[in-house]
A and B are shown apart, each in its own frame.
Chain A
Amino acid sequence: MPPTPPFGHWLSKHIKTGKSNCTHDREGESVEEMGQPELADADARLIIVGDPGRTDPHLQLAGNAVRTAKYSPFTFLPRNLFEQFHRVAYVYFLVIAVLNQLPQLAVFGRGASVLPLAFVLLVTAVKDAYEDWRRHRSDRIENNRAASVVDPRDGQFRPKRWKDVRVGEVLKVFADETNPCDMVLLATSDPTGVAYVQTINLDGESNLKTRYAKQETTSRPIGDEHPFAAGLIRCERPNRNIYGFLANMEIDGKRVSLGPSNIILRGCELKNTAWAIGVAVYAGSETKVMLNSSGAPSKRSRLETHMNRETLLLSAVLITLCSVVSICNGIWLGKHRNDLELSQFFRKRDYSDSDENYNYYGIGMQVFFTFLMSVIVFQIMIPISLYISMELARLGQAYFMIRDTNLYDESSNSKFQCRALNINEDLGQIKYVFSDKTGTLTENKMEFQCASIRGRDYSSGKVPLQDNGGTHSDLVGDQIWKPKMSVKTDPELVALLRSKVETEQGKQAREFFLALACCNTIVPLVVETADQTQKLIDYQGESPDEQALVYAAASYGFVLIERTSGHIVIDVLGDRQRYDVLGLHEFDSDRKRMSVIIGCPDKTVKLYVKGADISMFGVIQKTINLDIIRATETSINAYSSLGLRTLVIGMRKLSRNDFEEWQSAYENASTELIGRGRLLRAVASNVERDLHILGASGIEDKLQQGVPQAIESIRQAGIKVWVLTGDKQETAISIGFSCKLLTSEMTQIVINSNSRESCKKSLQDAVALSSKLAAISPDSENILRGTGSSRIALALVIDGNSLVYILETELEEELFKVATVCDVVLCCRVAPLQKAGIVALMKNQTDDMTLAIGDGANDVSMIQMADVGIGISGQEGRQAVMASDFAMGQFRFLVPLLLVHGHWNYQRMAYMILYNFYRNAVFVFILFWYVLYTAYSLTTAISEWSSVLYSVIYTALPTIVVGILDKDLSRRTLIKYPQLYRAGQRDERYNLKLFILTMMDSIWQSVAIFYIPYLAYRQSVVDGSSLGDLWTLAVVILVNIHLAMDVFQWNWITHASIWGCIVATVICVIIIDSIWMLPGYWAIFHIMGTGLFWLCLLGIIIAGILPRFTTKALTEYFMPNDIQIARELEKYQNINAATTSEIPMITLSQPL
């Protein structure tokens, strides 16, 4: 940081800087919804251009150093521990370890009691430290990058490290460099002040965006003493909205307004522009990209929620066991009150010091101590290790999901992303899928299909105009410039455009395509090709619809060639013409249209408007040409029933008066600081009236590959698909048909109302209809399950207007009733918050798992609301991906994700939880049975080290390996029979019944393990340690065999881990028994030398496993579930050969 220069005291009086007010934290998408917010002076940040010292005299603003690392070497230990102990499980662990340190309660040795906790903490800490070290390293690299900054003393550009850049400094960025902070553009290499940036690091969009420097600053000479001195920028406080910026600049006494197009954000790359100069307005942690880099939302899986319920049950069991032990101990002490004074093994009285009781605190206290001690001894009843095992297993599952080649999207070169690591298993229990349409079901690659001009529909007979290329290419010198993509054209329309005969239709058509070519924000980029004489024009822009329209215009001969901030050049049928762009009203969601004011070469001023049909028909002059409007409306309806997106184009010639009136209003509004957005909208609405209709366009939004098949599979899997879209009802329905969501056999229930009452009525009608249909179908239960094939399928179509009256009112219940009996629900014209509202409705009304999938910023709220949120990393930016739990490239990947990985993960995790409960319970029960024969004094025959290592080494690895690798069914089977997915929806793998059965099994096994040696060795010379070793080995072998019996697929890793663990246990026991300090010295060798030991071991294993094996054999053969049948199918009918219904996995070749 440079030293603070002395500052003028006049500044300190009224400049309020950055950090004191934190209320200004709006989410990006909501700002877009509300339109431009107003910039009140009190909320503003003041920046004096080129003078960081006066801008930020107290160094209160964030410097440009970024810090993504969480810890420093000094804070690592306390902070990391603090974070780790946020888990209740660890606190439980700690409390037990602390209890054990009390001398009266010392059950385990100090080391043995702390070891497991210390181990877990250490592993996590090492993992965190490594991740943090990597973050530190990348921070260091990032902070030390070089930037070119104006030295305020002499006005020269000097290199400076990124971290030293301060707000108010003037920077210069060169082509292909990354921008170090958020800066307002002052000048660029382009004389008009245009700069192109790529925002791929920011939002993932790869197309170039245009940014402008204001005319007032571009003309300033560079290299002067203070090139931009006295410039004062007043901008809003740092916020997360990367698509919004509100500021103005005072320069030379003039007030210039600044908007999102005047700022380049940190992380953007400058492209196609030699250099750009700007002033830093937000730095470091206050830049928009840093404010947006929040982590994935934390969700908790349903299985884990259920698991917590069973953990509570286990706690109850634990408390019962402890109470039994302590009460029995009390009774025993009471009964033997007199005996214990002298008995050799207790000796209550200390004879050396008078008549004092030695280590005896009265029965009450003894009972209390016994209780606490028994909690310590039986602590692993609550399987702490399960939490760590689950995390490791999920990590492994995520590894395999990410590396699955079937989830890789070639067209966008994107791998599957696992952003949330703790809900893998939820993917196996989804009941409802809420899907966005545009960009999710469709590709969001728009293609111009047809036009209706002056009421006449041109959509027949498409011929690609590739061969007679002369029409839509432009000759520049000896070079041919061609648009990068060509669109199929209608020959009749082409002929009309070319015809020399001046007809009204031809004039209108030319105006129409001129409007398409100029009413947009597209930037043409000229790209070299291998052929020297040929160059391609690549249209870069933010809206795919606009790109499609401009390519279409180019194909018809209206080629947009050049755009600067003041004019555009269009090649009109071979004739190059310059049009001045006098004004531009950007698209906003209130007006639903955009317009440009163009100064034509013939000195006329024209307003071109394009927008959504409803908004356009409101501003079109209806007094004349009524039949044209009608005809256009008919065409639009026809287009949208084909699934096309429609836009209406209108035009108005502006008289001189009109123009001047507009110009003054526009200038006033655009320099206004407060409520500028609203004023600009008012200006736009004022001028966009009395339009003359030119025509309408139909753009196809192509379905993504494999969507119909994917939807079919998902529905067979018993998952209900709801499509929530902002499109029109007709468009939504036609897309519904094309992706096989809707079929012609379905009965459609359409709810499309404008008032509360009519909503209520149509809902009641719908309920009546659905119950009537339910009554006539043979099995009404089937409807609820959505399985019946013999019944009439229902589809509900509802629009956003109706939802306004339904959501968050008592009508919700009715909607829920209707929606659940319907197979398909289509919601059209819904706002982003309504999407979340619908998801919330389902979440509140049912226990079923919901999944939301979407790609745009408007899906963020829905993605965050649903149990599982999936982001499509597609065309519409990365906001959805950033908010999602999982991200992938294509909608159809939902099939392998849910049906295969979801199914596997659910099955694995469910088994893992049950097995861990069982495994620890068996051990605890063995300890408990023994305690009954030690006068309830909590002695353990199993050595304390074995108790500690039991869940850490002896039995930990196999369950994790099985939790990562085991597959009940192969991928092919799961995709061939999507119905198998229903096992997860029915909670088949983990429920209370299974839990209780498992617990009963664990009690039986513990009885077998304990009582067989007990009865075999009673009245013998056996010592505690030897018997303890027998129990240790028996329990470890039995629980591993139990696991082995339930493993579905044995590969070498499974073999190695299960048998390896048994071997490791034997080695550990041998090592423990080789320590002379411990009482069990050499016990294992003595007992292993006897035949009785081996007979006991064999007997325990067979007797222990027998009930489970018998039950398994019985249920698998006589009560097989679907999964069992499918396994048999896999084994005996070689279904691998027949893969007819498999989803095709060929990726789409890129259209060009």
Chain B
Amino acid sequence: MNPRGDSTSGSDGAAEPRRKSKKPRYSRFTQQELPACKPLLTPAIVVTTFAFIGIIFIPIGLLSLSASGQVVEIVYQYDTDCIPEQMQNDKVAFIQSSMTNKTCTRTLTVPKNMEGPVHIYYELDNFYQNHRRYVKSRSDKQLRSKASETETTNCAPEATTSDGSVIVPCGLIAWSLFNDTYSFAVNSKIIEVNKKNIAWQSDKEHKFGSDVYPKNFQMGGLIGGAKLNASIPLSEQEDLIVWMRTAALPRFRKLYGRIETDLATNEQITVTIQNNYNTYSFEGKKNLVLSTTSWIGGKNDFLGTAYLTVGSLCLFLSMGFIILYLLKPRTLGDPSYLSWNRNPDGHY
């Protein structure tokens, strides 16, 4: 029963617009009827997907393995080796003493022809460059510009010297700069080690200032590592820049330099190591690594193996699914499979 029609009041005009339909306007969007693709995992799609992954992955795996196989790598662990017999019981004392001779000369044999450039890495183990108190102990502002020299908030205890003047670069990371050095000779002919361009160009240009010079560095009670030449700006101190890119994992390598010449098979390389860096106090290991590179990086068989495994697993699954589909076929979209159409004792 409709209230329209109060003839005496003449309200029809006012009431009419209020009665206008509130019916929602139709659009494919509001009715949730947008054109859509409804993918289904049909047997064909499943089998093809698995086969496709297998076909892609196995060649990649083989390629990776071969790339990794071409990499020639010489790893020499020298931390215990380079300590004289009589000091083996107290390695920390040996490394802390300024009186001991830390030079250590060894001969390495090149197992296979190494084409230049041969990368020289030092590898530390059990060194937590990713430890929270270590990663945070730096000042990026100070590294970048002279004006921010005093920004040393996170750098304790290497923020200032005991008399209060700022340390540049401050913080534990810089303080602990690696300071073993290596020199190489083949047949007593010294091989040049190119230490240029071992750091990221982006770091040299934007992260480390060319007007920032080391100041009060390594002057405290304990020497953590290398000293820096106070007359070279930080942007040129590539060893520092490399070191300041803190490693992701406790076992890591850092680029030391490059040998631009080729090393022939069975060549004897004489390495002179200045074993200065104290990893003995925390049982850290030190390795010297000479390695060529490939497109996959260094020597690492994991990825190739992983790809081969996943690839063959997928091929196997593809085969398995084919067999399963043949053994237990089912018509897609057969209403008799609906639970209320199946008889009650069917699997539910």
Contacts and interface: CB of A to CB of B under 8 A. Distances in A.
Interface of A: 175-176, 198, 200, 206-208, 271-272, 336, 339-347, 350-353, 358-359, 399-400, 402-405, 408, 410, 413-415, 445, 484-485, 525-528, 535-536, 538-540, 547, 778-779, 781-782, 787-788, 933-935, 937-939, 941, 965, 967, 971, 977, 979, 982, 1012, 1014-1028, 1048-1054, 1076-1079, 1081-1082, 1085-1086, 1090-1092, 1095-1096, 1098-1099, 1102-1103, 1106, 1109-1110, 1112-1114, 1116-1118, 1120-1122, 1125-1133, 1150
26 contacts: A175-B11, A176-B11, A176-B14, A336-B282, A344-B225, A351-B157, A352-B162, A352-B221, A358-B157, A403-B31, A408-B24, A535-B7, A933-B249, A935-B250, A1015-B306, A1017-B248, A1023-B246, A1024-B247, A1051-B36, A1082-B202, A1092-B297, A1095-B307, A1118-B330, A1120-B330, A1122-B339, A1126-B338
Interface string B14-57: 10000101111110001110111111110100100100010001
A125 B324 CA distance: 56
Nearest to A535: B7
A199 to B, nearest CB: 11
B249 A1099 contact: no
Contact of A528 (B5, B19, B46, B248): B5
A352 B250 contact: no
Interface residues of B, number: 111
From B1, B14, B131, B224, name the one whose CB has the most chain A CB atoms within 10 angstroms. B1
Contact of B282 (A339, A1091, A1129): A339
Interface in B93-129: 121, 123, 127-129
A339 B339 CA distance: 67
Contacts of B7: 526-528, 535
B31 A1128 contact: no
A1103 B43 contact: no
Contact of A1018 (B8, B132, B144, B249): B249
Given A1018-B249, A1076-B206, A1129-B335, A1049 B38 contact: yes
B253 interface: yes
B130 A941 contact: yes
A788 B340 CA distance: 9
Nearest to A1121: B339
A415 B22 contact: yes
Given A1019-B298, A1102-B57, 20 more contacts: A175-B9, A272-B6, A339-B282, A343-B281, A345-B128, A345-B176, A346-B282, A352-B161, A933-B250, A939-B130, A965-B32, A1012-B306, A1076-B144, A1076-B207, A1079-B140, A1092-B297, A1095-B60, A1120-B337, A1131-B38, A1132-B333
Interface of B: 1-3, 5-9, 11, 14, 19, 21-26, 30-32, 34-41, 43, 46, 49, 53, 57, 60, 64, 92, 121, 123, 127-135, 138, 140-141, 144, 156-157, 161-162, 172, 175-176, 200, 202-203, 206-207, 220-222, 224-225, 245-255, 278, 281-284, 295-298, 300, 302-303, 306-307, 310, 313-314, 317, 321, 324-325, 328, 330, 332-335, 337-340, 344
A404 B31 contact: yes
A1024 B302 CA distance: 20
Which interface residue of A778, A1026, A1085, A1102 has the most chain B CB atoms within 10 A? A1102
Contacts of B330: 1117-1118, 1120
A1091 B296 contact: yes
A1045 to B, nearest CB: 9
B9 A346 contact: no
B310 A934 contact: no
A798 to B, nearest CB: 29
For the residues of B in contact with A, the DSSP-based class is loop
B131 A933 contact: no
A1086 B297 CA distance: 13
Contact of B253 (A1020, A1026, A1106): A1020
B133 A339 contact: no
Given A1020-B253, A1023-B246, A525 B333 contact: no
Nearest to A788: B344
A535 B176 CA distance: 104
> Most chain-B Cβ atoms within 10 A of its Cβ — which of A781, A1052, A1085, A1099?
A1099
A852 B247 CA distance: 63
Pick from A410, A781, A1120, A1150 the residue with the most CB of B within 10 Å.
A1120
Nearest to A1047: B39
Nearest to B119: A1021
A340 B282 contact: yes
Nearest to A1132: B333
B317 A344 contact: no
Nearest to A350: B157
Contacts of A339: 281-283
B36 A527 contact: no
B200 A408 contact: no
Chain A: interface secondary structure? mixed
Nearest to B47: A1113
Given A1082-B203, A1128-B333, A1053 B34 contact: yes
Contacts of A934: 128, 130-132, 250
Contacts of A342: 92, 222, 278, 281-282
Contact of A1127 (B38, B92, B172): B38
Contacts of B302: 1015-1016
A202 B185 CA distance: 100
Contacts, number: 321
A347 B283 contact: no
9 interchain residue pairs of minimum CB distance: A344-B176, A1128-B333, A351-B221, A1082-B202, A527-B5, A339-B282, A937-B132, A343-B282, A528-B7
B128 A935 contact: yes
A400 B30 contact: yes
Contact of B251 (A345, A526, A1018, A1122): A1018
B303 A1023 contact: no
Given A1128-B332, A1131-B38, A344 B307 contact: no
A788 B247 CA distance: 67
Contact of A1050 (B1, B37, B162, B222): B37
B255 to A, nearest CB: 6
Contacts of B338: 977, 979, 1122, 1125-1126
Given A345-B131, A347-B157, A939-B132, A1081 B206 contact: yes
A1016 B303 contact: yes
Most buried by A among B26, B34, B330: B34
Given A1049-B37, A1129-B335, A341 B19 contact: no
Contacts of B328: 1118
B331 to A, nearest CB: 9
Given A405-B24, A414-B22, A1117-B325, A1103 B38 contact: no
A1077 B144 CA distance: 9
Nearest to A1017: B248
Nearest to B224: A344
Contacts of B6: 271-272, 525, 527
Contacts of A198: 3
B32 A967 contact: yes
A1052 B281 contact: no
B184 to A, nearest CB: 20
A410 B278 contact: no
A983 B22 CA distance: 34
A413 B22 contact: yes
B347 to A, nearest CB: 8
A965 B283 CA distance: 58
B53 A1051 contact: no
A937 B222 CA distance: 24
B128 A346 contact: yes
Contact of B303 (A402, A415, A1096): A1096
Contact of B26 (A345, A405, A539): A405
Given A1016-B302, A1077-B140, A1133-B333, A1021 B324 contact: no
Contact of A1021 (B3, B121, B281, B282): B121
Contacts of A1025: 245
